[in-house]
């Protein structure tokens, strides 16, 4: 997992929107999807940094009715080497994503359309859980994890993502229990991926090759961040 601060992608000059929310007031995690996809044969997999930057800028202005900023606190991109989490409004600001839950909730939105396409690899959920664990350390009162559809008449975050909800967790991982999810869990998740990327058939994208060993992710995440690094990163920035 890689965490990208707003300055990494935001060349727009547009201000960060939302009101400041004390971290102790955060009680819910929310999962969304953006519906927008990567326009290539692997619509849920973002291959390059430039694709991610361009897409963040697009999301910033795509819904003027929700004002000119990313409506989510964070946006998650599935890449060939793991999740890239981009700071949207950030950890300290209200969002504009879920009526009634924009202050109490911290929203992470997956870039993609998970109603139309399936999650490409089993490691996505363990990495998402790792991200939730980071947020739980920083916002200690975080409680349940919801999908947008739990609160509104919407398909969001897409059925193929929502079916993995029973596996979402910020629960700490024991030192010798290297993954929140064991091999059986991972198999169950993969069995849920009925509508796997059509690119699998074209050979454009190697689903098997993307499946990572969770133990390896935990031990040495490629380009990974430590909690201390993330905390230092998140501690300073959402005030302007
Ligand atoms: Zn949503």
Distance (angstroms) between ligand 1 centre and the Cα of 162 equals: 11
Model confidence at 222: pLDDT above 70: no
Question: Is the distance from CB of 122 to CB of 75 less than 8 angstroms?
Answer: no
Q: What share of the chain in percent tops pLDDT 90?
A: 56
Q: Residue 108 C-alpha to ligand 1 middle, in angstroms?
A: 9
What is d(CA 38, CA 113) in angstroms, rounded to the nearest whole number?
9
> Higher-confidence residue: 16 or 226?
16
How many CA atoms are closer than 13 Å to the CA of 143, on its beta-carbon side? 5
Q: How many Å lie between the centroid of ligand 1 and the Cα of residue 73?
A: 12
Q: Is the pLDDT of residue 199 over 70?
A: no
Question: Would you state the structure tokens that stand for residue 124, as one six-digit string?
Answer: 């996505």
Q: Which of 61, 55, 60, 58 is nearest to 43 (CA)?
A: 55
Strand locations in 90-233 (E): 105-110, 145-147
- Cα–Cα distance measured from residue 171 to residue 113, given in angstroms and rounded to the nearest whole number: 27
Confidence of residue 36 (pLDDT cuts 50, 70, 90): very high
- For the cut 50, the answer to whether the pLDDT of residue 112 exceeds it is yes
pLDDT of residue 203: 35
Q: Find all residues with CB under 8 Å of 228, minimum gap 6, and list them.
A: none
For residue 63, name the pLDDT band (cuts at 50, 70, 90): confident
At 171 the pLDDT is 86
Ligand 1 centroid to Cα of residue 90, in Å, is 17
Is pLDDT above 50 for 32?
A: yes
Distance 175 CA to ligand 1 centre (A): 34
Whether omega before 138 lies within 30 degrees of 0, making that bond cis, reads no
Residue 240 has pLDDT above 50, yes or no: no
pTM: 0.77
> Does residue 120 or residue 55 have the better pLDDT?
55
Separation of alpha carbons 20 and 100, rounded Å: 16
Average pLDDT (126-142) is 90
Ligand 1 centroid distance, CA of 107 (Å): 9
pLDDT at 74 over 90: yes
Stronger pLDDT, 237 or 227, i.e. the higher one: 227
Bridge partners of residue 105, in order along the sequence: 28
Classify 102 as helix, strand or coil. coil
With CA atoms as reference, report the closest residue to 142 among 29, 19, 21. 29
Q: How far apart, in whole angstroms, are the C-alpha atoms of residue 66 and residue 133? A: 29
Stretch 106-115: mean pLDDT: 96
Q: Given a cut of 80, is residue 26 above it in pLDDT?
A: yes
Q: What is the mean pLDDT of the chain?
A: 80
pLDDT value for 73: 97
Strands 28-33 and 2-4: unpaired
Report the alpha-carbon distance of residue 115 to residue 110 in Å, rounded. 12
Tokens of 24: 């102790």
Q: Tell me: the pLDDT tens digits for 147-185?
A: 999 999 999 999 999 999 988 999 876 544 444 566 666
CA of 56 to the centre of ligand 1 (A): 16
Ligand 1 center to 3 CA (angstroms): 21
Cα 71 to ligand 1 centre (Å): 10
Homologous superfamily (CATH) for 2-233 = Peptidoglycan recognition protein-like (3.40.80.10)
Domain boundaries, given as residue ranges, for the chain: 2-233
pLDDT value at position 138? Answer: 87
């Amino acid at each position: 997992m890689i965490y990208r601060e707003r300055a990494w992608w935001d060349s727009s000059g547009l201000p960060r929107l939302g009101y400041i929310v004390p971290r102790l007031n955060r009680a819910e995690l929310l999962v969304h999807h953006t519906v927008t996809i990567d326009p290539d044969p692997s619509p849920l997999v973002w291959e390059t940094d430039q694709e991610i930057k361009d897409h963040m800028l697009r999301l910033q202005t795509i819904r003027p009715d929700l004002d000119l900023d990313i409506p989510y606190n964070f946006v998650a991109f599935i890449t060939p080497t793991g999740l890239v989490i981009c700071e949207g409004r950030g950890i300290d600001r209200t969002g504009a994503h879920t009526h009634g839950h924009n202050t109490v909730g911290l929203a992470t939105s997956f870039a993609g359309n998970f109603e139309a396409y399936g999650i490409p690899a089993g490691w996505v959920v363990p990495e998402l859980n790792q991200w939730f664990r980071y947020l739980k350390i920083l916002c200690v009162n975080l409680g349940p994890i919801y999908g947008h559809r739990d609160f509104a008449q919407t398909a969001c975050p897409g059925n193929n993502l929502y079916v993995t909800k029973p596996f979402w967790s910020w629960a700490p991982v024991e030192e010798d229990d290297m993954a929140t999810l064991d091999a059986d869990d991972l198999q169950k998740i993969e069995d849920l991926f009925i509508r796997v990327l059509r690119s699998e058939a074209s050979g454009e994208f190697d689903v098997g090759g993307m499946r990572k060993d969770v133990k390896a992710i935990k031990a040495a995440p490629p380009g990974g961040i430590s909690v201390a690094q993330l905390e230092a990163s998140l501690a300073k920035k959402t005030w302007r």
